[in-house]
């Protein structure tokens, strides 16, 4: 039992660090946000070990970004900065781990040799996680980045965040579908 727990903690640490590193290879947006592969290790952990492991991996990615200073913050008061960083980094990456809600459908498709069901489960999980992350970024855009808006702040935040979250979703869905379908052993069904 203890060895399994240590193995799980090591996997979370490794995949969290991998997500952090993959975020450096990115197309950065001017007021924050980027198109990168950061979600892939989080999603992999969510499908490999379940939702909790995915959420913890996402939290670790966000925490690594905070402690290394690789974050975009708006120049407001300290309390607002703390709230913005909490939402934009810890919550936004943690919700990516919720992609694992479709894990059982993926595993069922794998057991029955139905690649289509596996890919559908992956895309549905990535879409769910991307939508949740998008909502968090829209909220922080409205609350903290309204100074950049010309006109309606909500519409600005919805459009601005969609410009990078749609490509992030597509990239993660394509890469995870290809990766998980080609190497289903990455998702450990014995966990």
- Which residue carries 């968090």 as its tokens? 136
pLDDT at 182 over 80: yes
The confidence score (pLDDT) of residue 191 equals 47
Q: Is 82 exposed, middle or buried (0-12, 13-18, 19+ CB in 10 A)?
A: exposed
The tokens describing 90, both together, are 């810890």
Residue 76 φ/ψ region, left for φ over 0, alpha for ψ in the -120 to 50 degree band, beta for the rest: beta
Kindly state the percentage of the chain with pLDDT values over 70: 90
Mean pLDDT (whole number) for 108-123: 92
Phi/psi at 67 (nearest 5 deg)? -70, -25
Return the bridge partners of 99, or none: none
pLDDT beyond 60 at 189: no
Average pLDDT over residues 137-153: 84
Helix axes 2-22, 39-49, angle to 10 degrees: 160
pLDDT score, position 102: 96
| Predicted confidence (pLDDT) at residue 67 exceeds the cutoff of 60 | yes
């Amino acid at each position: 039992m203890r060895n399994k727990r240590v193995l799980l903690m090591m996997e979370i640490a490794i995949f969290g660090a991998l997500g952090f590193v993959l975020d450096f290879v990115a197309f950065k947006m001017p007021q924050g946000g980027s198109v990168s592969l950061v979600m892939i290790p989080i999603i992999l952990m969510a499908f490999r070990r379940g939702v909790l492991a995915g959420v913890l991996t996402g939290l670790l990615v966000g925490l690594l970004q905070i402690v290394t200073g690789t974050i975009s913050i708006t120049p407001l008061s300290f309390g607002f900065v703390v709230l913005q960083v909490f939402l934009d980094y810890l919550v936004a990456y943690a919700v990516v781990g919720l992609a694992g809600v479709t894990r059982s459908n993926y595993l069922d498709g794998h057991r029955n040799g139905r690649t289509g069901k596996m890919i559908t489960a992956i895309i549905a999980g990535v879409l769910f996680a991307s939508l949740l992350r998008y909502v968090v970024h829209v909220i922080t855009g409205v609350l903290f980045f309204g100074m950049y808006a010309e006109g309606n702040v909500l519409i600005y935040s919805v459009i601005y965040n969609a410009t990078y979250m749609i490509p992030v979703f597509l990239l993660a869905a394509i890469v995870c579908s290809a990766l998980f379908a080609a190497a289903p052993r990455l998702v450990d069904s014995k966990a």
